[in-house]
Amino acid sequence: MSAAILTISSKNYSSWSLRGWLLCKMANLEIEERVAPIDDAAIRAELLLLSPSFLVPCLEHDGAKIWDTLAIAEYLNEWNPAAGLLPEERIARAHCRSISGEIHSGFYNLRSALPMNLKARHLNFKTFGGALPDIERITSVWRDCLKAYGGPYLFGKLTMADAMYAPVCTRFHTYDVKLDNASKAYCRTILKWPALAAWTKAAKAEPEDFDELDIEF
């Protein structure tokens, strides 16, 4: 069987592409990467949060075509349940799905105020006030999970939730967001995740720059 195909866009700017890619790595699915050009108008609209739907990532595997990140996560969990994308225990599974769904459908102010940019680093960045409730909610989710399941990941071991929140950790690093100790430790853990480190290295090597997201703050 040929490798699965995962269509992504910019590794530097696309948080949804990162999530889908991490999920495939977690599920041990061999993938061929296809990159949608950043000068495609629809892709640029998505990265600028002007598109109402997500075009990437899109996974094609064994006759299936899945273009929603949570749907990709659920598909991969069915394909390889031994990979542990969801916790084994029923209540923890429900909790994992809930917080994964929350990041999937919310936190618009955070995304607008702190766009993903792995090449950038803005020390002492003044965060737009409208994003602060999003930051507080996310760190509250993290603290609750770390306390309930013991860390170092949200549910003890790596799950789909960590893939869903990984781009948030990169945003907090890029924009020097001040965090409580538990959230800071979680971000350090995720940023050291070998899969994320590999993605970040590739992102920094990308030749393309997206002028609209490379603003000097």
Phi, psi dihedrals of residue 32, rounded to the nearest 5°: -100, 125
Contact 164, 200 (CB under 8 A): no
Domains of the chain with CATH codes: 4-83 (3.40.30.10), 90-199 (1.20.1050.10)
Segment 185-214, tens digit of pLDDT: 999 999 999 999 999 999 999 886 666 555
Segment 103-126, tens digit of pLDDT: 998 999 999 899 999 999 999 999
Torsion angle of the four alpha carbons 20, 24, 187, 43, in this order, in degrees rounded to the nearest 10: -20
Would you say residue 215 has pLDDT above 50? Answer: no
| pLDDT of the residue at 46 | 61
Helix (H) or strand (E) holding 109: helix 108-113
pTM for the model: 0.91
User: What does each C-alpha distance from 57 to 4, 60, 124, 177 come to in angstroms?
Assistant: 13, 10, 32, 27
Lowest-pLDDT range, 4-13, 51-60, 84-93? 51-60
CA distance 186 to 29: 26
| Residue 216: pLDDT band with limits 50, 70, 90 | very low
Tell me which long-range contacts 43-48 makes (C-beta under 8 A, separation of at least 24).
43/9, 44/210, 44/212, 46/9, 46/14, 46/16, 47/9, 47/10, 47/13, 47/14, 47/115, 47/210, 47/213, 48/212, 48/213
Would you say residue 1 has pLDDT above 50? Answer: no
